Structure 1
Amino acid sequence: MPGFTPGQGTRRALLAAGAGIGMGTAGPGLLAGCTAARGRSDLSAGLLQAPAAHLPGTHLRDLRDPASGRTWRVWVQPPAGPAPEHGHPVLYVLDGNAAFALAAQLARNDAERPVGLRPDAAIVVGIGHPGDAAFHPAERLRDFTPAAAGGAATAAAGGADLLLDFMARELQPQVARAFRIDGRRQTISGHSLGGLFVLHALFTRPAQFHRYAATSPSVWWNQGQVLGTAEQFVLAHASAPRPFEARLRLRVGGLETERAAATPARAAVQAERRLMQRTEALAHRLSGLAWPELHVDADVLPGVDHGGAMLPGLVGALAMAQQPR
């Protein structure tokens, strides 16, 4: 994608660093100087001196939003295959520092399947924060939570609309210019606070994306504020025609309840948040609308806790992104 820095050739760098392994040389390679006498400590040191690994075929850039002044880290993996009739589906993944590599590899795996079983090649876009940490707690709280009703974003929280504005004005148009995309198959996926962000996007901007994957969403945030936003969404669109066509994939872990908590402290947290109950109530409310413009697919992930729901959530989000129109 123009403007993004491609990952460098990981395999070539590692092979070059370790070129002397089978030839008895002792240059500055991956295992340079390792002997039986030096033992495992030298082996570990040699491995850690090797070039840093990169995910091949992906691109990375920190993008500053001219409007808000905030900077987000963006990863892009181009589609591994020809464009379908209407263009490539696009999967936007929140918490890109932790989730992008997982989602990108899932898409790469699809490209290796037999032709008759291969889904449409998807573009994967990760949205995260500058830095090497898997998660950035302060920035997640700032960017993934909606502002309080009648309030505005602060430096600490409530910036969900600022990030949505950035995606609508800057990121989505850049992706559309770089690739032949299917505008009706743009999916946003998030877990936990990211799942809260996805629900807020659906209820306030149901036409910005077409598919919404919310996994273990933090529906408890600010005394369940997003549930009130859902009711406003229902009232605002009570009468047809509705100016959107949206699919919602809603998942929650089967262990995200106080009865399944491993410790009393965790049970107390889950009892207070009532994530399972609130998510199920939201699913029933939306499913009961029976709107042809809103398809709701809600389910429980058996045997999965909050953190463990992230990976199956990504698997399902990619599958939904690739579904035909």
Structure 2
Amino acid sequence: MPAPHPAQGSTRRALLAAGAGTSLGLLGGCATGSPAVPAQLLQAPAAALPGTHQQDLRDPASGNTWRIWVQRPAGPAPATGHPVLYVLDGNAAFALAAQLARNDAARPPELRPDAAIVVGIGHPGDAVIHPAERQRDYTPPPPGGSATPQAGGADRLLDFIARELQPRVAQAFPVDAQRQTITGHSFGGLCVLHALFTRPALFTRYAATSPSVWWNQGQVLQTAQQFMQAHATAPRAFSARLHLRVGSLEHAQAAATPARAVVQAERRLLDRTTTLANQLTTLAWPELHVQMAVLPGLDHGSVMLPGLVDALALAQQAR
């Protein structure tokens, strides 16, 4: 898909500031200058995304609490049930994914995909990113080791999804068991890959955007090798689709600063992810379909949104 050109930071900030000033001026009846925000605007009810619900759920097994968002499907259930998209980093990504699903539901009937359920998984609080909790929940445990309060808790999160969250969603809606998708970006993408390589039947579709394959000296790449060896011969008790997305600027030569170039050279995210995709594609397993895309002109942060667009499309694909 064509990638948007990221705006220059200073220009974008100036445009946003100008737009905000104009809007508030119109609302408050102010013509010029820097208008104060009208008191009645601040006292208005908080905005809400239609059709969504939010709840903090405590996992009885681990004791961790995750914030869960669910958007009801904006359309009738297909004969096989609704596809479900589970979105990691829900604080940052759920509203985006939910609105994309709402947009799909407003398309003409002949262009409208099956109505999807969007489930966000995040952390309590209003911060967009929770760095400590992300590292705790999205990184796999070290080989032969176990999770600590700081890292390695991916299996705890995946257990929570399997034992608590998926059954709740299936109880609330008619779901399509063959269209269960999980998506994540960066550390979230790392968790997606760990899920595929350690429990490939938990979901049927996996969308990893800029996955942190460098974590712990490339541990997930070693897990991938173990996965390939464990399932080298048929039959394989899973059927999965994997979408990998990486920005073309995620390598050292494209870094904006020398410091960032050092980080990107150490992580080699673009090269490592491409190599992983090639290895998995070469297997030619009928039970595993791999699709890799390098999105032009995008870096690690800006690739998240188009990754979500593609993840939703993956979730809605026909069986």
TM-score by length of 2: 0.90
Is the 2:28–2:38 Cα contact (8 Å) retained in structure 1? no
Q: Are 2:73 and 1:79 aligned?
A: yes
Counterpart selection for 2:179 from 185, 207, 211:
185
Per the TM alignment, residue 39 of structure 1 is displaced from its structure 2 partner at its CA by: 7.0
Aligned pairs for 1:224-239 (under 5 A) are 224-239=218-233
CA distance in 2, matches of 1:247, 1:41: 52
Instruction: Report SS of the residue matched to 1:90.
Output: strand
| SS of residue matched to 2:217 | helix
Measure how far apart 1:85 and its partner are: 1.4
Query: Structure 1 residues 281 and 41 mapped into 2: Cα distance closer, same or farther (>3 Å)?
Result: same
How far did 1:35 drift?
A: 6.1
Return closer, same or farther for 1:36/1:173 CA change in 2, 3 Å cut-off: closer
Match runs of 1:68-147 below 5 Å: 68-147=62-141
Q: With CA pairs under 8 Å and 6+ residues apart, which has the higher RCO, 1 or 2?
A: 2
Q: Look up the equivalent residue of 2:303 and give its one-letter code.
A: A
Counterpart amino acid of residue 284 in structure 1? N
CA distance in 2: counterparts of 1:172 and 1:114, whole angstroms? 31
- Give unmatched runs, 5+ long, in structure 1: 1-29
Asked which structure has the greater CA Rg, the reply is 1
**Equivalence for 1:47:** 41
User: Match for residue 318 of structure 1?
Assistant: 312
Match of 1:251 among 204, 225, 245: 245
Q: 1:110 to 1:38 in 2, by over 3 A?
A: closer
CA shift, 1:314, in A, is 0.2
Following TM superposition, by how much is the alpha carbon of 1:40 offset from its aligned partner in structure 2, in angstroms? Answer: 4.6
The structural deviation recorded for 1:114 is 0.4
Q: Structure 1's 264 and 179: CA in aligned 2 closer, same or farther, altered over 3 A?
A: same
- Distance in structure 1 (CA, Å) of the matches to 2:310 and 2:172: 26
Matched, 1:170 2:164: yes
Matching of residue 161 in structure 1 with residue 155 in structure 2: yes
Shift of 1:53: 1.4
Residue 216 (structure 1) aligned with residue 216 (structure 2): no
Question: SS of 2:99's equivalent?
Answer: helix
The Cα offsets for residues 56-100 of structure 1, whole Å up to 9 and x where unpaired, read as: 210000000000000000000011101111000000000000100
Compared CA separation, residues 34 and 197, structure 1 to 2 (3 A): closer
Tell me how many residue pairs correspond in the alignment.
295
Provide structure 2 residue ranges, at least 5 long, that are not aligned to the other structure: 1-23
In structure 1, the residue matched to 2:284 is 290
C-alpha distance in 2 between matches for 1:323 and 1:231: 28
Q: Which amino acid aligns with 1:101?
A: A
**Identical-residue share of aligned pairs (%):** 74
- Give the direction of change, closer, same or farther, for the CA distance of 1:36–1:67 in structure 2 (3 Å limit): closer
Structure 1's 51 and 154: CA in aligned 2 closer, same or farther, altered over 3 A? same
The alpha-carbon distance between structure 1 residues 38 and 251, as it changes in their structure 2 partners (threshold 3 A), is closer
CA distance in 2, matches of 1:40, 1:251: 42
Letter in 2 for 1:171: L
Residues 239/308 of structure 1: CA separation in 2 closer, same or farther (3 Å cut):
same
CA distance 1:43–1:281, shift in 2 (3 Å): same
**CA-to-aligned-CA distance 1:242-267 (integer Å, 9 cap, x gap):** 00000000010000000111111111
Structure 2 CA distance for partners of 1:265 and 1:120, relative to 1, 3 Å: same
Structure-1 separation of matches of 2:28 and 2:277: 58
Letter in 2 for 1:285: Q
TM superposition shift of 1:41: 3.8
Alpha-carbon distance between aligned partners in 1 of 2:110 and 2:29, rounded to the nearest angstrom? 50
Q: Which residue of 2 aligns with 1:148?
A: 142
1:127 is aligned with what amino acid? I
